[in-house]
Amino acid sequence: MSLEERVDSLPADAGVYLFRARSGKVLYVGKAQNLRSRVRQYVSGGDGRHQIPALMDRAADVEVVVTPSIKEALLLENELIKRHKPVFNVRLRDDKQYLTLRLDERDTWPRLTTARRLGRDGARYFGPYTSSVSLHDALSNLRRIFPLRSCSEGTFRDYQRRGRPCIEYEMKRCLGPCCGLVDEPGYRQLVEGTVLFLRGRSGELVDDLQARMKAAAERQDFEEAARLRDRIRAVERTVESQQIISENRTARDVFGLARDGSEVEVQVLHVREGRVVGTEGFGFSDVRIDDGEVMGSFLGQYYADDSRDAPREILSSQGFPDEAVLEEWLSEQAGRKVEIRTPRRGGLKQLVAIATNNASLTLARRLEARESVDAALAEIERECRLSRTPRRVECYDVSNLQGALPVASRVVFEDGRPVKKDYRRYRIQEAVGGDDYDCLREVMRRRLARVESEPLPDLLMVDGGRGQLGVVLAALSDAGLDVDTLGLSKERDEASKGPRVKRGGGLKAERIFLPNRANPVMLGPASKGLLLLQRVRDESHRFAIEFQRELRVKAGLTSILQELPGIGPVKRRALLRTLGSLRNVRQASEQELRAVPGISERDAATIRGFFAALDVEPEPEAERDAGGGDDGSGELPSPE
């Protein structure tokens, strides 16, 4: 049955429609008050939107789902967009990493914690914050004003048992609930103040604090009145630093949209009491629907997230279909009126212009960055004579501590950006003694065995030189596979195996090893292509080291000693008996180690090298942000 024929048999009810390609793939999901007439608009060409011809060229079938009302259709539409990721819809990525503050008011003594994303667990989430710096700034500022406890449950119980508060109390950053130094109602007031502050309702907060200060003064509790006065001043100081963009105090989210071809950027300004208390940006590529439709679909998905409260007013740079439906649904969700407006003049239009301007600037920056990535990828393709542009790159790195705890990492970059969900960590299972080549061989074998479910990237890269590249090529050849490969290694004084040499203003020269090429390719230190390759390699290295550190902490030093190749139980006992403790073993010189019965010169060098490597290892990064997933192959998934 043709699409035209299908239309007549469709119900004239509210619901969701899905256009499918001949392959069954969902191309577009939409909602309608009257499914038959909406789909007819598409099929008969009566819909003026410019994406329709392209959609109709590919659509072979339409499927509909009737819902009790258009509001349910809105929810279902969001759900289906999330599930099918249709190419003609914009999709708000739910894997975006948010930095937020979390507060669970159901706790007896609630505290603020940082979280990676907005959860659906009944707690309140604030933010998102654009960086960990802005989040930690906000947190430390808040703790000064509202000294909620910052300790974990375990620490809280610990100090409760001891009957004295921790240093936070001395520093006036906590009121000491662990020891009953503040009662529940008093603590609740702090929690309520925190919520008002974080929701941008500072006017209401200051009014409340002033009333309580007055009451405290009247009952001659001057200490409490002074505390409240300081709190009011701190709130006012913080609020003053936020930019005022409107005299009107209505809570508003302002949405601006900018477009360049199929690239779209949406910016949100959260305006509370006339001040911008937060911004968010969302970029979309390959957008094939018009601006109004983008905005409508975006807003539906944006507020479908339970943890986002719609404010009283939503200002949008674009009018969009079914605006009234969304408005009704949001009002129902919020339990009060929510109004969506597309201002055409006056102050509100100016607010939207600010959001749109921000969107344009962010879009321009994104396109510029993309051009620079494109140039880097083109350079790599050209200089390394690859068969295609290396849009998707996998890089492997092996790491061990003198043969102990051998691990490997895989990182994946797409268009110059890390794809953390595809990162993998490998605990080496078969290669003994931590031999780098054996480890890499094992990792490649495990990786290539999964090629069906995980297709090969455009470029397979390894941290290392000719030897490592040879291992990768041999593994590919054994598996009957072919893909562009390269090894990236820092230049060394090969003859002496001595320290890395420095060149060009202190930068270590990098050598790119390619198959069937005797001499490595050397790109200048300012080369964009080289910088990108280095970034991928360094990320892989960081990821492997991080994994190894976790394993080491888990195992404890004594058990790590057991992992050292050539150091069996007899030698371990001799070491501990002769030197007295693990700490002494760690601090012993090679000579002292050699003096231990049964410890050879080689053993002493291994042990010394092992502890030396531990001692120089860099500190963990402040911000852990690795993603990852379990691929069921025995590789450990990365933590969220």
Give the binding site for ligand SF4 (CB under 6 A).
Answer: 149-151, 155-156, 159, 165-166, 168-169, 174, 176-178
For ligand SF4, give the closer residue by CB, 126 or 169: 169
Q: Which residues pair with 270 in a beta bridge?
A: 253, 278
CB of 160 vs ligand SF4, minimal distance in Å: 8
Q: Reduced to 3 states, what is the DSSP secondary structure of residue 63?
A: strand
150 DSSP assignment? -
CB of 142 vs ligand SF4, minimal distance in Å: 14
For ligand SF4, give the closer residue by CB, 178 or 205: 178
List alpha helices for 27-69, DSSP H.
35-43, 52-58
Within 13 Å and on the Cβ side, how many CA atoms surround 451? 15
CB of 456 vs ligand SF4, minimal distance in Å: 51
CA distance 511 to 464: 9
CA distances to 155, 156, 158, 231 from 162, in Å: 11, 10, 6, 30
CB of 229 vs ligand SF4, minimal distance in Å: 23
CB of 151 vs ligand SF4, minimal distance in Å: 3
CB of 178 vs ligand SF4, minimal distance in Å: 3
For ligand SF4, give the closer residue by CB, 227 or 249: 227
For ligand SF4, give the closer residue by CB, 151 or 604: 151
CA distance 209 to 199: 16
For ligand SF4, give the closer residue by CB, 153 or 625: 153
CA distance 49 to 57: 14
For ligand SF4, give the closer residue by CB, 154 or 335: 154
Q: Hey, what's the torsion of the CAs at 561, 567, 568, 574, to 10 degrees?
A: -90
For ligand SF4, give the closer residue by CB, 108 or 591: 108
Structure tokens at 299: 């807003």
CB of 67 vs ligand SF4, minimal distance in Å: 49
The dihedral built from the CA positions of residue 186, 187, 190 and 196, taken in this order, carries a sign that is negative
CA distances to 80, 379, 500, 532, 533 from 462, in Å: 39, 19, 19, 14, 10
The residue to which tokens 């974990």 are assigned: 152
For ligand SF4, give the closer residue by CB, 150 or 238: 150
CB of 176 vs ligand SF4, minimal distance in Å: 4
Q: How many CB atoms lie within 10 A of CB 221?
A: 14
Residue type, 102: R
CB of 459 vs ligand SF4, minimal distance in Å: 50
For ligand SF4, give the closer residue by CB, 151 or 352: 151
CA distance 35 to 1: 18
CB of 365 vs ligand SF4, minimal distance in Å: 41
The beta strand positions in 312-448, using DSSP E, are: 313-316, 339-341, 392-401, 404-414, 417-418, 424-427
CB of 170 vs ligand SF4, minimal distance in Å: 9
CA distance 64 to 11: 9
Rg of the chain taking only CA atoms, in angstroms: 31
Structure tokens at 537: 């390699």
CB of 103 vs ligand SF4, minimal distance in Å: 15
For ligand SF4, give the closer residue by CB, 231 or 441: 231
What is the distance, to the nearest Å, from the Cα of residue 408 to the centroid of all Cα atoms in its chain? 22
For ligand SF4, give the closer residue by CB, 144 or 392: 144
Length of the chain: 640
Are the C-beta atoms of residues 64 and 17 closer than 8 Å to each other?
Answer: yes
For ligand SF4, give the closer residue by CB, 150 or 360: 150
Q: Reduced to 3 states, what is the DSSP secondary structure of residue 480?
A: coil
Are the C-beta atoms of residues 350 and 254 closer than 8 Å to each other?
Answer: no
